[in-house]
Amino acid sequence: MKATAVAPSNIAFIKYWGKKDEILRLPENGSISMNLSDMITMTTVEFNSSFGEDSIVINDTKEENEKNRAIKHLDRIRKLAKITDCAHVITKTNFPRGTGLSSSASGFAALTVAGLNAAGLTLSEKDVSILARQGSGSACRSIPNGITEWLDGNTSDTSYAVSLYPSDYWDLCDVVAVVSVGKKDVASSEGMKLASHSPFFSFRLLHMKEKITACKKLLLEKNFQKLGELIESEALELHSIMLTSTPSLIYWTPGTLRIMKLCKIWRKEGIPVYFTINTGQDIHLICEKPTVETVKKKLTDIEEVKTVIVNSSAPGAHLVTSHLF
């Protein structure tokens, strides 16, 4: 059986860092994110008894099978479906991988939805989100629609994402400035293991529920200024944990820092825009739709910016009819 799915990347407004359980990928705290319309992964999965081995091809490059996370995820699907067939998987992304743009979130969300369908399984959205989380934590947020919350559960059954608002709720946009296409030095999964080394980490966790409540209130009110201030402050707090871990994690490049500083200048010029950064060097500028073209023009004039990607809020992972092979 064969199936193809498309899944968005997502940008976290309130982020998670650190895990309660490494195997189940249970986060230390809940989070809130928005699915991104123009940063997507398309994945085709086929299970067939005639295949001699699993095959994973990402952007035309065959992946090594040994210790491959995608194959481990296929094993989870095979176990649920009670099948032993090998699989062929082809994946295409339209944005850089490994630079902190949550390519693993869209990748494992697409793999989960396509893999389940190819295996003949139909699960609830909650169970699909739980399964996607086990492949890559933030993949669970790319399953539901629009703006989502990853619930802070202490067990596998209570740690999943739900939709707070559909993709057409608010004209929030995320203008991404890609400042480097090179992969980051330390993968997020490895960096998170250092979270507890920071002297500020326990303080962060102490206030996370309060911060999530505040974010949800601002989303309900559509209070862009206060939401932007919260998003920007949250990104800086997250990176303060990374900077003070042992060893320290410094994901920013000169281009990242330049845009962070310029963003503050642009606000003084009357442009309502706020930055956030994931675990990488590329930077997300959050604004409302009427401001997008102004922000895009500002970014294209910056030497360090390689590419600009404009995103609105998007639906979650879903099946499509056309296949990649």
- Tens digit of pLDDT for each residue in 270-293? 999 999 999 889 999 999 999 999
- Mark whether 124 and 202 lie in a shared domain: no
Tens-digit pLDDT profile for residues 132-141: 999 999 999 9
Task: Categorize the per-residue pLDDT at 259 as very low, low, confident or very high, splitting at 50, 70 and 90.
Answer: very high
Task: Categorize the per-residue pLDDT at 256 as very low, low, confident or very high, splitting at 50, 70 and 90.
Answer: very high
For residue 19, the model assigns a pLDDT of 93
Residue 325 counted as domain residue: no
- Mark whether 69 and 179 lie in a shared domain: no
Residue 253 counted as domain residue: yes
* Full domain range(s) for residue 241: 172-312
| Contact yes or no for 206/308 (Cβ under 8 A) | no
Q: What's 107's DSSP letter?
A: H
Task: Categorize the per-residue pLDDT at 325 as very low, low, confident or very high, splitting at 50, 70 and 90.
Answer: confident
Residue 245 counted as domain residue: yes
Residue 319 counted as domain residue: no
Higher per-residue confidence, 267 vs 190: 267
- Mark whether 208 and 161 lie in a shared domain: no
Amino acid at 215: C
| Contact yes or no for 230/218 (Cβ under 8 A) | yes
- Mark whether 194 and 160 lie in a shared domain: no
- Mark whether 290 and 150 lie in a shared domain: no
* Cα dihedral 285→290→293→299 (10° resolution): -20
Structural domains of the chain, count:
2
- Mark whether 70 and 202 lie in a shared domain: no
CA dist 88 and 45 (Å) reads: 6
Task: Categorize the per-residue pLDDT at 168 as very low, low, confident or very high, splitting at 50, 70 and 90.
Answer: very high
- Mark whether 35 and 161 lie in a shared domain: yes
For residue 181, the model assigns a pLDDT of 75
- Mark whether 206 and 103 lie in a shared domain: no
pTM (2 decimals)? Answer: 0.95
**Pairing outcome for strands 86-93 and 55-58:** parallel
Q: What is the CATH number of the domain that holds 293?
A: 3.30.70.890
CA dist 288 and 299 (Å) reads: 16
Of the three residues 151, 168, 185, the one that is the final residue of a domain is 168
Of the three residues 133, 168, 203, the one that is the final residue of a domain is 168
Residue 97 counted as domain residue: yes
Q: Is the pLDDT confidence value at 223 over 80?
A: yes
- Mark whether 251 and 287 lie in a shared domain: yes
- Mark whether 213 and 254 lie in a shared domain: yes
The tally of CA atoms less than 13 A away on the side-chain side of residue 244 is 13
- Mark whether 133 and 33 lie in a shared domain: yes
For residue 96, the model assigns a pLDDT of 82
Q: What is the CATH number of the domain that holds 126?
A: 3.30.230.10
Residue 317 counted as domain residue: no
CA distance between the termini of the chain: 13
Task: Categorize the per-residue pLDDT at 127 as very low, low, confident or very high, splitting at 50, 70 and 90.
Answer: very high
Residue 42 pairs with which residues in a beta bridge?
6, 92
Q: What is the mean pLDDT of residues 21-45?
A: 96
- Mark whether 27 and 130 lie in a shared domain: yes
For residue 188, the model assigns a pLDDT of 83
CA dist 63 and 70 (Å) reads: 10
**Pairing outcome for strands 61-62 and 86-93:** unpaired
The tally of CA atoms less than 13 A away on the side-chain side of residue 214 is 16
Residue 146 counted as domain residue: yes
For residue 200, the model assigns a pLDDT of 93
Helix runs in 21-124, H state only: 69-81, 103-118
CA dist 319 and 110 (Å) reads: 9
Residue 182 in tokens: 């090179």
Amino acid at 111: L
Of the three residues 105, 137, 168, the one that is the final residue of a domain is 168
Helix axis angle, 208-221 relative to 224-243, nearest 10°?
150
Quote the mean pLDDT of the chain. 95
SS3 of 268, please? Answer: helix
CA dist 114 and 4 (Å) reads: 5
CA dist 206 and 201 (Å) reads: 9
Q: What's 24's DSSP letter?
A: T
Q: 223 CB contacts (<8 Å, ≥6 apart)? A: none
Residue 14 counted as domain residue: yes
